[in-house]
């Protein structure tokens, strides 16, 4: 069973159509990147996939369950979402930010502290845990946003333009991090506006005029594909 | 002088003055996968031509296996000619791109074939996008190899992004052609 | 004191199932320090998360002092983390501009102790880790090794019986690393606590009472002489800083190994 399935999803924006007849399947541990130009509907697609926004037509299924049926049950534990250009709260250190974001899910303090520390370690950002979150550079903010999402141990991480505004020399560290999370079994759905932001993806799709093109569902990928990724990471 | 081999050898001499055999070996190592040579003689005739045009000059004769071999370095004329040639290559690349695009445009008479071909292009670009090499961890202390890898990888990835955008436009044009032929509704914007 | 038997945790990767922990059995006795070597990434971290009751295993048992950790409720898990477990991480995770005493007392305060009581309990631990004359220092004025010692005092102040150390020497030079690991070892013996040291640093592992390597999700004895062939550095962690930060260091992100 696939982890996430979009079935003929459509969404309207004002006078125009943001998404039209979009279908997509994501398996556990896959990294999928959706390329699209500005106003192609990328962010809308990601918000719908993350369950933050309902589609106007079509269905979104996560782990086989229709997201529209979940009612008041919060899906926050299973799908993590990193907004484009996320700006952290003023006044909090990075660590505190990761802790406070867990309180909304009623995670007890000691657990929240441990999870926050481990998440920062996992993304390689432990060194900044005591810095004010606002003092970070763009690439550091993105990595911390990913760590924040990871404290919930999601099965799917949706990241909107993870490398936008990031120093070109630092870009690949973020992409490698996403790839390594995928290798550890966390599926990744990311959007990209540039050719440089798609590296490490198992499948790259293109979104234009509301239509999604490319390999919409996973092939039976040959073993050599994985090797290529290992070599690329190596 | 139009042969890329000649210019490439000039570049190697600019990088580090040397003699024929060493230049041939370096050529092999650095360029074999993008500019294959049939044999070393190619290198020697290039060196003769470059010397004849005063782009390189002999500075000494190195003794290799008791045979004196000429040791070359680039002249100021050689260096500035090399730079000029590199800039001119932009035109050459533009021409070859334009050729490729015009070759697609012959399908104007049958837009559905063009759209099929655009699908194949897109499939290929999307595959390339996920698979190009990672940039080395650029820290300003790159080795030469890392510098080259980084420049090549970035160029390829930026180009893919550009091509995907171009594909959008091309598809829209051919769809409009196909649409007008069948009297379909105009595409929603 | 800590007993793992046949523990399995797997993840669904894109093309295959990744068995991050694939039938691991391990015993750590009171007073013993056990090292687990292996590349950073899923396996070792997963093991720590399982032992810390932050993840549930797919198969197998994890018993701490006879209690089955994997069946803890969220509240029980939190108590366990507060009272029984002390975590030491690679990053020190100290509160800035706040004294060593306040940092070391943090966990006690989370656990509900009053400020004064918490400070009184934290101070002997700071002394035990050799920071008697640094009690009022803030992290910015402490060296990397000293910061890690504050972090250790924080972990130990609650008198845990199980200490989980996740790459504790990652940000330290080799002399400091040696000191820190020895400190953990001697505290373990004194307090009859168990220490699980998860690391890619062979020199650190050498100081433990026992050593294993986590390879393809399974524990194999040894690894100190490189007899288990492993590349211990994961490409992602290779991009993280490994230098000891000095006081006043801007603490910036460096890509590439140091």
A144-184 pLDDT, tens digit per residue, is 999 999 998 899 999 999 998 888 878 888 999 999 898 88
Contacting B residues, span 126-155, partner chain A, CB-CB under 8 Å: 126-127, 129-135, 137-139, 154
Nearest to A121 among C81, C90, C94 (CB): C90
What pLDDT, in 10s, does the model give residues A182-210?
A: 888 899 999 998 888 888 899 999 998 88
d(CA C179, CA B69): 61
User: Coil, strand or helix: which one is B113?
Assistant: helix
Per CB-CB distance under 8 Å, the chain A contacts of C239 are 124, 173, 176
d(CA A129, CA C171): 14
pLDDT at position C225 is 66
Burial class from Cβ neighbours inside 10 Å (0-12, 13-18, 19+) for residue B93 reads exposed
Contact flag B154-A205 (C-beta cutoff 8 Å): no
Q: Is residue C60, in this structure, part of any structural domain at all?
A: no
C134: closest CA among C148, C158, C150? C150
Contact flag A199-B157 (C-beta cutoff 8 Å): yes
Q: Sorting pLDDT into bands at 50, 70 and 90, what band is B58?
A: very high
pLDDT at position A18 is 87
Q: pTM of the predicted model, to two decimals?
A: 0.79
d(CA C10, CA C5): 16
pLDDT at position C15 is 64
Share in percent of chain B as helix, strand, coil (round to 5): 70, 10, 20
d(CA C23, CA C4): 9
CB of C33 closer than 8 Å to CB of C184: yes
User: Is C236's Cβ below 8 Å from some Cβ in B?
Assistant: no
pLDDT at position A22 is 95
Q: Is residue C4, in this structure, part of any structural domain at all?
A: no
Counting one residue from chain A and one from chain C, the pairs whose CB atoms sit within 8 A come to 142
pLDDT at position A191 is 95
Q: Sorting pLDDT into bands at 50, 70 and 90, what band is B179?
A: confident
Q: Which of A13-17, A58-62, B163-167 has the lowest mean pLDDT?
A: A13-17
pLDDT at position B27 is 92
State the DSSP H helix or E strand holding residue C46, giving kind and residue range, or none if neither. Answer: helix C42-51
At the second CATH level, the architecture of A4-88+157-233 is: 3-Layer(aba) Sandwich (3.40)
User: Is C256's Cβ below 8 Å from some Cβ in B?
Assistant: yes
Q: Which of A132-141, B107-116, B172-181, C105-114 has the lowest mean pLDDT?
A: B172-181
pLDDT at position A105 is 82
Q: Does domain B4-77 have CATH number 1.10.10.10?
A: yes
pLDDT at position C69 is 94
Residues of chain C with confidence (pLDDT) below 50: 228-258
d(CA A49, CA A161): 15
Contact flag A175-B134 (C-beta cutoff 8 Å): yes
Sheet holding A211-213, edge to edge: A79-82, A156-159, A187-192, A31-36, A203-208, A211-213
User: Is A54's Cβ below 8 Å from some Cβ in B?
Assistant: no
Nearest to A202 among C14, C45, C241 (CB): C14
Q: Is the pLDDT of residue B139 over 60?
A: no
What pLDDT, in 10s, does the model give residues A71-123?
A: 655 555 689 999 887 777 777 889 888 998 888 888 888 889 889 988 998 89
DSSP secondary structure of C97-133: TS-HHHHHTHHHHHTT--HHHHHHHHHHHHHHTT-GG
Residue for token digits 């070759």?
B103
Q: Which residues of A are identified as catalytic?
A: 161
Nearest to B161 among A17, A173, A194 (CB): A194
What pLDDT, in 10s, does the model give residues B63-73?
A: 667 777 889 99
CA-CA distances (angstroms) from residue A173 to A116, A137, C192? 21, 14, 42
Q: Is the pLDDT of residue A232 over 50?
A: no
User: Is C239's Cβ below 8 Å from some Cβ in B?
Assistant: yes
Residue in chain C closest to B138 (alpha carbons) equals C255
Per CB-CB distance under 8 Å, the chain C contacts of A189 are none
Per CB-CB distance under 8 Å, the chain A contacts of B163 are 195
What pLDDT, in 10s, does the model give residues B25-38?
A: 999 888 888 888 87
For residue C174, give the CATH number of its domain. 3.40.50.300
Domain hosting C185: range is 30-54+71-239
What pLDDT, in 10s, does the model give residues C159-185?
A: 999 999 988 887 788 888 888 899 999
Q: Is the pLDDT of residue A226 over 70?
A: no
Contacting A residues, span 92-121, partner chain B, CB-CB under 8 Å: none
Our count of domains for chain C comes to 1
> B20-31 vs B4-15: helix axis angle to the nearest 10?
110
pLDDT at position C246 is 36
Average model confidence (pLDDT) across chain C: 82
pLDDT at position A87 is 76
pLDDT at position C6 is 93
Per CB-CB distance under 8 Å, the chain C contacts of A127 are 91, 171, 240-241, 245, 251, 253
d(CA C79, CA C113): 14
Q: Sorting pLDDT into bands at 50, 70 and 90, what band is B127?
A: confident
């Amino acid at each position: 069973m696939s982890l996430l399935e979009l079935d003929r999803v459509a969404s309207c924006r004002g006078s125009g159509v943001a998404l039209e007849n979009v279908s997509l399947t994501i398996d556990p541990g896959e990294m999928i990147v959706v390329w699209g130009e500005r106003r192609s509907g990328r962010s809308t697609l990601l918000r719908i996939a993350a369950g933050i926004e309902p589609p106007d037509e079509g269905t979104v299924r996560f782990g086989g369950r229709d997201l529209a049926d979940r009612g008041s049950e919060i899906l926050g534990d299973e799908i993590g979402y990193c907004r484009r250009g996320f700006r952290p709260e003023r006044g909090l250190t990075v660590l505190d930010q990761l802790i406070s974001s867990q309180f909304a899910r009623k995670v007890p303090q000691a657990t929240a502290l441990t999870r926050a520390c481990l998440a920062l370690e996992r993304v390689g950002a432990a060194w900044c845990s005591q810095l004010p979150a606002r003092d970070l550079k763009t690439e550091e903010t993105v990595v911390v946003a990913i760590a924040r999402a990871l404290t919930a141990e999601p099965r799917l991480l949706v990241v909107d333009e993870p490398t936008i505004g990031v120093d070109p020399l630092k870009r690949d560290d973020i992409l490698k991090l996403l790839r390594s999370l995928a290798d550890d079994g966390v599926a990744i759905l990311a959007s990209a506006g540039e050719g440089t932001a798609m590296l490490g993806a198992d499948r790259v799709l293109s979104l234009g005029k509301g239509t999604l093109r490319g390999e919409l569902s996973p092939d039976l990928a040959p073993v050599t594909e994985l090797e290529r990724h290992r070599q690329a990471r190596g | 002088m139009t042969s890329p081999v000649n210019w490439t050898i000039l570049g190697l001499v600019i990088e580090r003055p040397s003699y024929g055999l060493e230049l041939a070996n370096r050529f092999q190592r650095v360029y074999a996968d993008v500019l294959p040579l049939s044999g070393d003689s190619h290198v020697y005739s290039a060196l003769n031509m470059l010397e004849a045009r005063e782009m390189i000059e002999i500075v000494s004769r190195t003794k290799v296996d008791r045979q004196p071999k000429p040791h070359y370095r680039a002249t100021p004329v050689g260096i500035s000619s090399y730079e000029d040639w590199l800039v001119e290559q932009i035109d050459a690349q533009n021409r070859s791109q334009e050729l490729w695009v015009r070759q697609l445009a012959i399908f104007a008479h049958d837009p559905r074939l063009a759209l099929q071909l655009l699908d194949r292009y897109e499939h290929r670009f999307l595959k390339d996008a996920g698979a190009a090499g990672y940039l080395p961890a650029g820290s300003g202390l790159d080795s030469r190899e890392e510098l080259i890898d980084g420049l090549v990888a970035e160029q390829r990835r930026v180009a893919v992004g550009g091509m995907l955008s171009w594909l959008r436009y091309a598809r829209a044009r051919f769809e409009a052609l196909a649409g007008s032929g069948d009297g379909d509704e105009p595409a929603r914007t | 004191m800590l007993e793992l038997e046949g523990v399995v945790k797997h993840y669904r990767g894109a093309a295959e199932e990744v068995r991050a922990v694939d039938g691991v059995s391990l015993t750590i006795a009171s007073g013993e320090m056990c090292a687990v070597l292996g590349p950073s990434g899923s396996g070792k971290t997963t093991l720590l998360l399982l032992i810390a009751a932050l993840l549930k295993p797919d198969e197998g048992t994890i018993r701490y002092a006879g209690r089955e950790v994997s069946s803890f409720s969220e509240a029980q898990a939190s108590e366990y983390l507060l009272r029984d477990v002390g975590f030491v991480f690679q990053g020190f995770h100290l509160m800035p501009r706040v004294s060593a005493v306040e940092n070391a007392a943090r966990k006690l305060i989370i656990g509900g102790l009053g400020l004064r009581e918490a400070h009184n309990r934290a101070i002997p631990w700071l002394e035990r880790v050799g920071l008697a004359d640094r009690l009022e220092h803030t992290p910015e004025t402490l060296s990397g090794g000293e910061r890690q010692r504050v972090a250790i005092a924080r972990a130990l102040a609650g008198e845990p019986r199980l200490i989980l150390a996740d790459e504790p020497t990652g940000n330290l030079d080799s002399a400091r690393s040696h000191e820190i690991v020895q400190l953990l070892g001697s505290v373990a013996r004194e307090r009859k606590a168990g220490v699980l040291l998860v690391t890619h640093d062979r020199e650190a592992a050498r100081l433990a009472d026992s050593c294993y390597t986590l390879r393809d999700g399974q524990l194999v004895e040894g690894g100190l002489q490189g007899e288990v062939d492993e590349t211990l550095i994961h490409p992602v962690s290779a991009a993280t800083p490994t230098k000891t930060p000095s006081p006043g260091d801007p603490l910036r992100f460096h890509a590439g190994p140091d």
